[in-house]
Structure 1
Amino acid sequence: MEAIFVYTTFPDWESARKVVRELLERKLIVCANMREHEAMYWWEGKIEEGKEIGVLLKTEVSRWKALRDALRELHPYEVPLIARIDLDKLNREYSEWMARVLFG
């Protein structure tokens, strides 16, 4: 199994939890880690500041396109960050657990 992480951000806990739960129910991910952080970014010609929820999604490479499409569909941001992180190595036990969750 070829594991990947996908990183995205949300404007608040409610939207992050709602989308993550839907992704879990669709079996597109096995797990998500969520953390609140401060963000500064350009938007519509000016610098914005605020809190965001950073979410690290864990899945298998064969789920990448479906996960990306689901995030585009469900995400509240007009321009969401959807970054795929390919993993070089992952411990066997965790990889086997991911395979059992995603593939039965």
Structure 2
Amino acid sequence: MSHSLIYVTASGRDEALALARALVEARLVACANVLDGVTSLYWWDGKVQEEPEAVMICKTRSDLADAVVARVKDLHSYACPCVVAVPVSSGNPAFLAWIDAETAE
């Protein structure tokens, strides 16, 4: 089975935690790490923006990535949230098996 990390930015810690809880409780992801206190710079509405954000990194099966993206888009406060899947090429076999078990239907 293949695995992915899902990288998401959120408006802050509270939103990232709410997203993480929804994804974990739905078993769409096995684990979500929330990293608070990041600063993002990006183009929006024709100018460079600088905003505090939180980052969420989720671990899941690759076959669930599209469902994770859809759920984040449904719940997120942003009009165009950053939510991207990055394939995992290798890792601790026991940890990858744990991801499989915790995201089982």
Q: TM-score range by the shorter chain?
A: over 0.9
**Alignment length, in residue pairs?**
104
1:87 aligns with 2:99: no
- Aligned residues: CA RMSD: 1.2
The match for 1:14 is 14
The match for 2:58 is 57
Q: What secondary structure, in the 3-state scheme, does the structure 2 residue paired with 1:86 have?
A: strand
- The answer to whether the 8 A contact 1:3-1:90 is kept is no
Q: Aligned AA for 1:35?
A: L
The 2-side partners of 1:102 and 1:83 are apart by: 19
TM-score of the pair, normalised by structure 1: 0.93
The 2-side partners of 1:76 and 1:40 are apart by: 18
The 1-side partners of 2:40 and 2:70 are apart by: 25
TM-score of the pair, normalised by structure 2: 0.92
- CA deviations over 1:13-71 (Å, ceiling 9, x no partner): 11111111011111000111111211111111111112110111110011112111101
Runs of 4+, deviation exceeding 3 Å:
none
Identity of matched residues, %: 26
- The answer to whether the 8 A contact 2:60-2:100 is kept is no
Q: Aligned AA for 1:18?
A: A
The match for 1:78 is 79
Where does the alignment leave 5 or more consecutive residues of structure 1 unmatched? none
